[in-house]
Amino acid sequence: MQARSDSNVELRKALGQFATGVTVVTTRAADGSPVGLTVNSFTSVSLDPPLLLWCLGRSSMNFDVFRLAEQQLINVLAADQIDVAQRFATRGAERFAGVPWNPTDTGLPRLDGCAAWIECGVRSRYEEGDHLILVCRIESFEVLRGKPLIFHDSRYVTELTETPLPRGLRSPLG
């Protein structure tokens, strides 16, 4: 096994072993039109203050819109939203056509049927490699407790199996 590979394919394979959820990050362009893209680089950063981050690829057609947008919405996709994940990852697609959504009080596009929504304000931006890291402060959120959509090894996974802790082990989270 290689500890390090110069092959992007192999590197993607290695990174893809880390399973994530799937989100669609949305905002409004300067002309008011809704914009969004599928993102799995989302992660929580801090509870106090409540912070999250996600990474935006430089090659995104919406790079400047998200780089400049002060307010953004993380739509955490549910297991039955694979079509939404694909639509918001497809260049040239009419991403908001046919996907039910409503504006939040602040006008951000909120997709119907998600597992959770997190509204946030951008706090800092870091350029690293071919991505921009956006660190955002959570301003409001809603948990719908639906089954989440999972992304692993370049594939979508819709079934989570909860496994009890082996006898004698205690949860580190209490």
Ligand X SMILES: Cc1cc2nc3c(=O)[nH]c(=O)nc-3n(C[C@H](O)[C@H](O)[C@H](O)COP(=O)(O)O)c2cc1C
Which segment (4-12, 35-43, 115-123, 133-141) binds ligand X by CB under 6 A? 35-43
Is residue 39 a contact residue for ligand X (CB under 6 A)? Answer: yes
Spell out, one character per residue from 132 to 171, where the chain touches ligand X: x when CB under 6 A holds, - when not.
-------------------x--------------------
Which segment (32-40, 44-52, 72-80, 98-106) binds ligand X by CB under 6 A? 32-40
Is residue 114 a contact residue for ligand X (CB under 6 A)? Answer: no
Taking the CB of residue 160, how many other CB atoms lie within 10 A of it? 11
Return d(Cα 84, Cα 77) in angstroms, integer: 8
Q: Closest separation between CB of residue 61 and ligand X, Å?
A: 4
Q: Closest separation between CB of residue 57 and ligand X, Å?
A: 3
The phi and psi torsions of 132 (rounded to 5 degrees) equal -110, 125
Q: Helix (H, G, I), strand (E, B), or coil: what is residue 5?
A: coil
User: Going by C-beta distance under 8 Å and a sequence separation of 6 or more, which residues neighbour residue 154?
Assistant: 12, 16
User: Going by C-beta distance under 8 Å and a sequence separation of 6 or more, which residues neighbour residue 90?
Assistant: none
Among 61, 68, 143, 144, binds ligand X (CB under 6 A): 61
Residues 89 to 108: which contact ligand X by CB under 6 A?
Answer: 89, 91
Is residue 60 a contact residue for ligand X (CB under 6 A)? Answer: yes
Q: Closest separation between CB of residue 163 and ligand X, Å?
A: 25
**Residue 108 buriedness (CB in 10 A; 0-12 / 13-18 / 19+):** buried
Is residue 76 a contact residue for ligand X (CB under 6 A)? Answer: no
The phi and psi torsions of 121 (rounded to 5 degrees) equal -115, 135
Nearer to ligand X, 92 or 166 (CB): 92
Among 41, 51, 79, 82, binds ligand X (CB under 6 A): 41
Return d(Cα 150, Cα 153) in angstroms, integer: 10
